Chains A and B, each alone.
Chain A
Amino acid sequence: MNKAEVLKLATLARIEVSDAEAESLSHEFEAILNYVGEVKGATDPSPALPLERGGLGGVYNVFRADENPHESGIFTEAILKEAPAREGDYLKVKKIL
């Protein structure tokens, strides 16, 4: 992996990194990917237990019934208090178009 690839990934991840950091990350990633690469190509010869919950088997619904909502707006203030910028009861962002 080279610096240009790291910078492209950083763009995808929406993180600003300097050229120097991208350069050193590229070497660190080489070492890490080389280490984790040992699992590549592994196949499971004997699928004995289902993956979910290590053997319980079956997928089941964990959603609550869609009823009895809480009173509208009771959490709005507590949550919006943490927003960097707001306008009324909305989060404020910069113009996109």
Chain B
Amino acid sequence: MIDLSTLTIVSAREALKAKKFSAKELTQACIDAIKTKDKDIRAFLEVFDNALIQADFADKKIAEGIDLPLLGIPVALKDNMLVANHHASAGSKILENFISPYDSTAVKKLQEAGAIIIGRTNCDEFAMGSSTENSAYGVTKNPIDISRVPGGSSGGSAAAVAAGMVLASYGSDTGGSIRQPAAFCGVVGFKPTYGRVSRSGLIAMASSLDQIGPFAKTAEDAEILYNVVKGHDAMDSTTIADNTYSKDKQFNKTIGVPRAFVESEGITKEVKENLEATIAKFKALGYTVKDVDLSHLKYSLAVYYILMPAEVSSNLARFDGVKYGLHVDGANGIEDYFKSRGQGFGRETRRRVILGTYILSSGYYDAYYGTALTMKKMITDELRKAFKDVDLILTPTTPTPAFKFGEKSDPLSMYLADIFTVPANISGCPSISLPSGFASVEGKQLPLGIQLTADLGREDNLFAASKEFGNEVK
């Protein structure tokens, strides 16, 4: 009997190599777990019907003695990553019947690493949201408490790992869409440095911020999943190489906490206590923890809600009911656009496209977009200056544990759920959410996450500290 709730990629790979179980048995165990558990959770939009065929193929390679980092490991993908000849809808009705004509670069790399692509997971429409309530295909529930959201936008990918349906999954993070659901579901979620993972074949939301990254049970697994998909890609001109950013600065086990910023943002008592407990744990591990003054961080969310809708409005202009996706017929050509987009896009998507149109319109462009770009640079410079002194920045991942369905009906209050995760997207820095403690709410133990952020290109520091911290928690 395969126990998916404790199995990691590391332990599964050992078991596969030792022939304790086959890739087919492991994949079947995942499919069975999805069948029993996903009726309540609804993390998956589709389990691919060729999953067991992929598993057979992996078993053949294992029998030949081939060793690959993910050989025989089933992984789930957020519904915005293209897998050739499979549906990809980005949680939107406008792409309900869309079938990918090609593989995303990340998927190609996963296949080369021997992974089994088991299916696609639910997400907020076009990755826009913090609760997975914006999917056109219904909500995903938090496996720890099904009256609560799993976070978002990659809520399905987080819930799938947390519920023990798969060992690993991938999502995309534009303002916290990997780290926030990871925190809400009690798993590890990692956003790489902007440009480390190719966005070719990722359905675009805000191109200067989008980044693919993994969900896993441990930091070791997250590192394996990251190493498989990273790398320069001719199909994405913003990708960077291993040595693009200098790794000369030595890792000194020094952590900075922007305390003034964290404490001004309405965090709950449990989140604050958890931060203090985490600081104590790092100190016990031999880390120096000090306060850092990052006075610009508080502007990150405002900058985000200018840059992101602007990019969304231009990226989503491609959905015209002509080239692909939903077409709703009107009286003439232009009416086709209005109807296809009006009916194909959900409410949050319509809101952001129209807001982005305003921000980019003549007379407002300089006041909003131009200023936001200046602020983006100031935030990035301030963070990078701090990294001359400290190796990592520590904050809670979220101000609160998972909230209830419908609790944040006002858009601005929902946006504030991303207050601590957004700075890493604005600056491009790599950032990870690690499970750390619980908040006791209404008789349930809700997971909390702690977030570490490193300088551009310093994933090595992030994983070194995350692994030490993870081992301490166990």
| A70 lies within 8 A of chain B by Cβ | no
| B61 lies within 8 A of chain A by Cβ | no
Min Cβ gap B233→A in Å is 11
Min Cβ gap B372→A in Å is 6
Min Cβ gap B380→A in Å is 5
Residues of A contacting B: mostly: loop
- Judge whether A81 and B101 touch: CB under 8 Å: yes
Residues of B contacting A: mostly: helix
Interface size class of B (residues with CB under 8 A): 35 or more
| A19 lies within 8 A of chain B by Cβ | no
Partner of A82, one of B99, B339, B415: B99
Min Cβ gap A91→B in Å is 6
CB contacts under 8 Å to A, within B304-361, are: 305-306, 313, 317, 320-327, 332-334, 336-339, 341-343, 345, 347, 350-351, 353-358, 361
A 45-73 to B, binary, CB cutoff 8 A, 1 in contact else 0: 01111010111100000111000000000
With known contacts A28-B411, A84-B325, A39–B375 Cβ distance under 8 A: yes
Can you name the residue of chain A whose Cβ is closest to the Cβ of B234? A64
| B68 lies within 8 A of chain A by Cβ | no
Across-interface contacts of A64 in B (CB, < 8 A): 234
CB contacts under 8 Å to B, within A13-57, are: 13-17, 21, 25, 28-29, 31-33, 35-44, 46-49, 51, 53-56
- Judge whether B373 and A51 touch: CB under 8 Å: yes
Interface, chain A (partner B; CB < 8 A): 1, 6, 9-10, 12-17, 21, 25, 28-29, 31-33, 35-44, 46-49, 51, 53-56, 62-64, 75, 78-79, 81-85, 91, 93-96
Q: Supply 16 A–B pairs (Cβ within 8 Å), ascending by A.
A: A9-B361, A10-B354, A13-B313, A13-B357, A14-B334, A29-B358, A31-B412, A39-B372, A40-B368, A41-B371, A48-B381, A78-B102, A82-B99, A82-B324, A83-B324, A94-B333
